[in-house]
Amino acid sequence: MGGITRRALFAGSALGAAGALLPTAGPASAGPRAARASYRAAYHFTVPEQWKNDPQRPVWIDGTYHYYYLHNADYLAGEIGTAWRLATSTDLVSFTDRGIAVPKDTTPNGDVWSGSAVIDTDDTAGFGAGAVVVLVTMSPHDGPADQAQYLYYSTDGGRTFTPYGTDPVLPNPGVRDFRDPKVIRDEEHGRWVMTLAENDKVGFYHSADLRSWTYASGFVKGGIGVLECPDLFRIRAEDGTPKWVLGVSANGKGTGLPNTYAYWTGSFDGSAFTADASEPQWLDHGWDWYGAVTFDKRGSDGTLDEGARYAIGWLNNWDYAHIAPTIDSDGFNGTDSIVREITLKRGGDGTYFLASRPVAALDRYVSRTVRLGDLEVEGTRVLDYEGTAYELTCDITWDQLTGAGVQLRRSPDGVRHIDAGVHRDYAYLNRRPTVSPDMTGRWQESRSPFDPARRAVRLRVLVDRTCVEMFVDDGRYVHSSAAFPYLVDAGLALFTVEGRAVFRDTVIREFRV
């Protein structure tokens, strides 16, 4: 998200309001972190201090994922501008902070925005075989047509980077939005391909050496806001069909669509992308899964899995990016979604879609399991469980009812909670009854399609201190939203609307990362 990252990353009044969300203490049953009034996530990635926003596509180097993200170390001082900070992981659940990799303000071009890193295995750029090359947007004067693409390179395995001069490798041709380069290797044609966000268009560019670029074509889509953080990848569907996927971060709220990651399946001939359908699908239907990136799934030996990818998104929204109690309680503002594994499936109507599930390595961090079995519910049933960070799974079945779901982070008096479930012909996640970051009151309940004739739904819900992620059935529909419940709100209840249901194989898992 190029231009937005240049805005002042400090808002005193908003942060002051967020500070009021902090209770003085939490119940012992909510855990030791709640007792000291911490809003830091228990098992989601969070920036160590200050500010983070866009994830940058992780790359696999020497058996380790290198995850870069935009970071502002001067957030609390009210200074603007981001650098690339690095965290490494072998399993995409536990991360080790490695500090700043691509610094800001070390050249006349200022800070660094979103882009992508690639491994130049064949030394096409001339920095040495295996050099890590970053293409990144910078805007020296923050002008409307000032965004251009610059190059940094690393010869120490992606830990530190050197600027390749101070001139852009892809200058701005005089357009307002020209940012967020995503580079992939096109082995078939022996060249690099860049996708670039250009307002309502994704531009495609070619390069032999990563240092000079030629325009190839453009994919235009209006009506979903300014397109940002483009993504292009090839994936093999479960039925064996290879497909290309083009993704963008986009804001469709004005027309009742999500404000997350829109994508199209289709074909790519090395120069142009042809979509299977004009309208996009959405990889998340919640309010807060923005600036998301997908990346290679590698085995422990580095083998590429062509039938799956990983994905991670920023659990925030520019409409209220600075309203977070974490800045007062723990000195940071920036939480990511859990890393997901995504696969390509074919629906009954012949349409291909991306399905999501939490990364499998999360299973290795389970610290406690509570098995509640099959529970009959008619109305509201409060469970004998309290927690602020956990996973809930259940299969809900019924003969006839209007809706069913779970009340998460329920207050002791039952007034405040987050609702997740199904109602008639849609699945939903509703944060209205709790402390929501959306001060307008308009963006509280997210929805996705649901077929009530099935009379059954499987829910997998990840709950953490400041977020909820709901995976519905096969993961075609996911809802991710930020919320800031009081830390004393640790209850859990099941409910139905106008009918009876059985919540089968109800299991709660807690994690220690």
| Catalytic residue IDs | 54
| Residues 262 and 247 sit within 8 Å (Cβ to Cβ) | yes
- Name the residue type at position 418: I
CA-closest candidate to residue 39, choices 466, 365, 361, 512 = 466
Q: How many Å apart are CA 266 and CA 286, to the nearest integer?
A: 24
How far the first Cα of the chain sits from its last, in Å, is 29
Place of tokens 């309502």: 200
Place of tokens 């889509």: 221
Quick one: CA torsion of 162, 167, 173, 177, rounded to 10 degrees? 40
**Residue 107 burial by Cβ neighbours in a 10 Å radius (0-12, 13-18, 19+):** middle
| Residues 453 and 463 sit within 8 Å (Cβ to Cβ) | no
DSSP states along 439-451? TTSSS-EEEEE--
CA-closest candidate to residue 268, choices 210, 178, 184, 207 = 184
Phi and psi of 107, rounded to 5°?
-130, 165
Q: How many CB atoms neighbour CB 422 within 10 A? A: 26
User: Alpha carbon 507 to chain centroid distance?
Assistant: 25
Report the largest interatomic distance among the alpha carbons of the chain, rounded to a whole angstrom: 68
Q: How many Å apart are CA 197 and CA 86, to the nearest integer?
A: 24
Kindly state the tokens that stand for 127. Answer: 């920095």
Q: By three-state DSSP, how is residue 180 classified?
A: strand
Q: How many CB atoms neighbour CB 68 within 10 A? A: 30
Annotate 15-68 with three-state secondary structure: HHHHHCCCCCCCCHHHCHHHHCCCCCCCCCCECCCEEEEEEEEEEEECCEEEEE
* Alpha-carbon distances of 224 from 62, 250, 273, 390, 402, rounded to whole Å: 39, 6, 19, 34, 32
Kind and range of the H or E element at 512? none
Kindly state the tokens that stand for 297. Answer: 């799934």
